[in-house]
Amino acid sequence: MKFRRLLSTQAVLLAALAISVQLIAQDHQSTASNRHHRYRLIDLGTFGGPSNWFCNDPNLVGGACAIQNNRGMVVSGADTSLPNPNYQNPNIFFPPFTVPGDPYIQHAYQWQGGALQDLGALPGGYNSWAQAVSANGLVAGLSENGGFDPLFGVPAAHAILWKNGGQTIVDLGTLEGGYESLAFGVNSRGQVIGNALNTIPDAFYFFPVQSRAFLWENGAMQDLGTLGTGTDAFAYFINERGQIAGASFTNTTVNPVLTYCTFFQIPTPTQDPFVWDNGKLIDLGSLGGTCGVPNAMNNKGQVVGLSDVAGDVDYHAFLWPGKNGKMQDLGTLGGCCALANWISDAGQVVGGSYTANQYFHAFLWKQGVMSDLSAGSSECSFALGVNSNGQAVGFTCGGRHNALLWENGQEIDLNVFNQGSSLKQLVLAYNINDSGEIVGLGVPPGVNVRDVFNLGHTFALIPCSGSEIEGCVELPQSLPSVPEPSRQLPPSTLPQRGGRHRRLVLSHDTKDLLPDTLDGVRPPCFRCTCGCGGAGYCLVYPTTGKLDGTCIGSGSNNMCAAKSNTTQCPVGAKPIRPSSFSCSIFTVDTVDVARRCTD
């Protein structure tokens, strides 16, 4: 996962489990050409509310969730038109991962062939959300269950499996009598993986109890254990073989340095990625540092992600080649750091890396060679997904906000296919399956691009066959030229110390990145460990246009820090001087710069 914002009040401590990246279980090798010249754009819509939510946003620096399969199915969550009774006291497993939460009830959905199907929620619960779909159409996610979590004082949520075409909903329960669980992945066998909180006190993580990786199958939830003497583990991916990839603390010795793995800005023990195979945990090791994060696994059991190198200052993309193999350093594009986001069944890897001149570019790695997908450009780019035909998708993270497709050495702005649609801009390409179908995030009419993660709509780009005409847009023979940004982006505006559950930080003035501010005032980012008393700004909730009781600012280690502060940021108050503010490479919030607050 991967949050856009962290709140440090106890009521929202469950944030760390809410977002993580998943595996798209690619069920077959497509015979489609790896180059498509015509696409049909479809806005997947909502259930009457404003938003169609993504399960993961790229500010948290990692691959997309498994919301798409090779059968053309897409799953996620969308707003209904009904008011959310838990709006003021939400379980922030659910978007927008803040307090207050979504003013509308949101339901999980599955989309296929033009039909958006409401998957509903558990009896007694209001909100549900889907995070993964298997090759044969099983769906995993979470739902409120009508219960209450006394540890955090919020509505309880359980991991869910939807089957029988979405007609049957199965409550997967929790571990050790705990109150919360979340499903991150599912395969065609009906095996579901995720995380659950038990009731064992924990001194080595931000939760007061342990977070444990689980495997659910045949009606029973199994604790996968941990590496070494670690207390906490996280399961993120499962493939068609039943292999599971995740991460675990390896001991109980707290490292003094904040690393990529310190989701909540607190030091933690060493964390290594692992693979669970036939009942055994395999420690994938590291590239010399104390933090490793898996970002994807394919059906061959190969795992990619990032690992700190010695000293825990820089990190590199890694590939674990499979059973009995050793973690391989994929290197960088010449700069300090790189991370791998996705791996196809054919073994191609995509992600992002600093270049020698401190740009941040999308890369494609195959057969031992890392290629710069934006070579010669000074614009920031990031690749999130790749299919077995070598087509990669991602987005620009600089002055423009555009969804991208890379194929046959060409970078294509997918907005060339956005003609006459209900969306005014395609800002993010998220997944691509082996048939070349693309899922992404777009901006509907009346919504500013900076609010795309709160008010955006999911779109699908479907390749047109030779006989299709209606709604199909041809790729121009000569692509429109794209102006270069006025200057190179400073390195600190790009991915550094984000973490799976965190936003990134822009620690410089954002005026070159955000030309669409409300009044031209751009408050500079500031640094302060969350809760240390640093100055922040009161957040304006995008749906209501009023303060929501949150103080937000830049945290230490290039993170975004936020905290509930209803005294200085009274809920429902009208902002005095609203303006744009960014703590990430992509997401922009509206804040009241006339109200300073304590984060």
Specify if 471 maps to a domain. no
**110 forms bridges with which residues in the sheet?**
75, 117
pLDDT level of residue 34 (50, 70, 90 thresholds): very low
Max CA pair span of the chain: 63
pLDDT level of residue 487 (50, 70, 90 thresholds): very low
Residues 452 and 512 in one domain: no
Phi then psi for residue 51, to 5 deg, are -120, 145
pLDDT level of residue 385 (50, 70, 90 thresholds): very high
- pLDDT value, residue 399: 63
Residue 228's nearest CA partner among 250, 199, 208, 258 is 250
Residues 278 and 414 in one domain: yes
- pLDDT value, residue 23: 31
Mean pLDDT taken over the chain? 81
- pLDDT value, residue 203: 84
Specify if 481 maps to a domain. no
Please say which residue of 465, 494, 515 terminates a domain: 465
Residue 264's nearest CA partner among 6, 35, 523 is 6
Phi then psi for residue 491, to 5 deg, are -55, -35
Structure tokens at 253: 């010795």
DSSP conformation letters of 119-155: EE--TT---EEEEEE-TTS-EEEEEEEEEEETTTTEE
Residues 170 and 291 in one domain: yes
**What percent of the chain is modeled with pLDDT above 90?**
58
- pLDDT value, residue 508: 25
Does 559 score more than 80 pLDDT?
A: no
Looking at residues 192-210, what average pLDDT do you find? 89
pLDDT level of residue 503 (50, 70, 90 thresholds): very low
What does DSSP assign to residue 474?
A: E
What does DSSP assign to residue 454?
A: H
Residue 48's nearest CA partner among 114, 113, 106 is 106
Name which residue leads in pLDDT, 525 or 100.
Answer: 100
Residues 429 and 574 in one domain: no
Is 414 in contact with 426 (CB distance < 8 Å)? yes
CA–CA separation, 243 vs 590, rounded Å?
42
User: Which domain range does residue 165 map to?
Assistant: 10-465
Residues 525 and 407 in one domain: no
Residues 159 and 84 in one domain: yes
pLDDT level of residue 13 (50, 70, 90 thresholds): very low
pLDDT level of residue 102 (50, 70, 90 thresholds): very high
DSSP conformation letters of 544-589: TSSEEEEEEEEETTTEEEEEE-TTTS-TTPPPSSEEEE-SSSS--E
Specify if 299 maps to a domain. yes
Residues 460 and 520 in one domain: no
What does DSSP assign to residue 39?
A: E
Residues 518 and 424 in one domain: no
Looking at residues 23-50, what average pLDDT do you find? 67
Specify if 105 maps to a domain. yes
Structure tokens at 10: 């106890």
Does 491 score more than 50 pLDDT?
A: no
- pLDDT value, residue 56: 61
Number of domains in the chain: 2
State pLDDT tens for residues 386-403.
999 999 999 987 667 899
DSSP β-ladder status, 589-598 and 578-581 = antiparallel
Please state whether the predicted TM-score (pTM) of the whole model is above 0.85.
no
pLDDT level of residue 289 (50, 70, 90 thresholds): very high
pLDDT level of residue 515 (50, 70, 90 thresholds): very low
Specify if 285 maps to a domain. yes
Name which residue leads in pLDDT, 515 or 339.
Answer: 339
State pLDDT tens for residues 237-251.
999 999 999 999 999
- pLDDT value, residue 115: 92
The CATH number assigned to the domain holding 158 equals 2.140.10
- pLDDT value, residue 565: 86
Structure tokens at 224: 């996968």
Residues 451 and 515 in one domain: no
Q: 23-37, 86-100, 451-465: which has the minimum mean pLDDT?
A: 23-37
Looking at residues 463-473, what average pLDDT do you find? 84
Name which residue leads in pLDDT, 276 or 152.
Answer: 276
C-alpha R_g of the chain: 22
State pLDDT tens for residues 400-440.
789 999 998 899 999 999 998 889 999 999 999 999 999 99
pLDDT level of residue 14 (50, 70, 90 thresholds): very low
Specify if 495 maps to a domain. no
Specify if 319 maps to a domain. yes
Structure tokens at 31: 């015979």
Strands annotated E in 373-513: 381-386, 392-396, 403-407, 410-413, 425-432, 438-443, 457-463, 472-474
Residue 188's nearest CA partner among 147, 140, 230 is 140
Is 416 in contact with 479 (CB distance < 8 Å)? yes
CA–CA separation, 432 vs 416, rounded Å?
17
Question: In terms of C-beta density within 10 A (0-12 exposed, 13-18 middle, 19 or more buried), how is residue 596 classed?
Answer: middle
Looking at residues 561-575, what average pLDDT do you find? 86
Specify if 571 maps to a domain. yes
Residues 557 and 459 in one domain: no
Residues 269 and 139 in one domain: yes
Q: Which residues contact 274 (CB under 8 A, 6 or more apart)?
A: 227, 233, 245, 246, 247, 248, 281, 282, 283, 284
Q: Which residues contact 593 (CB under 8 A, 6 or more apart)?
A: 521, 523, 537, 577, 578, 579, 581
Structure tokens at 409: 């050495």
Is 62 in contact with 56 (CB distance < 8 Å)? yes
CA dihedral 440, 446, 449, 452 (to 10 degrees): -50
Cα distances (Å, whole numbers) of residue 213 to 243, 279, 292, 341, 453: 13, 13, 16, 21, 28
- pLDDT value, residue 398: 64
State pLDDT tens for residues 319-368.
999 988 999 999 999 999 999 999 999 999 999 999 998 888 999 999 99
The structure tokens 């359980």 sit at 158
State pLDDT tens for residues 537-552.
888 887 678 898 888 8
pLDDT level of residue 63 (50, 70, 90 thresholds): low
Residues 416 and 517 in one domain: no
Looking at residues 107-112, what average pLDDT do you find? 97
State pLDDT tens for residues 123-141.
999 999 999 999 999 999 9
- pLDDT value, residue 516: 30
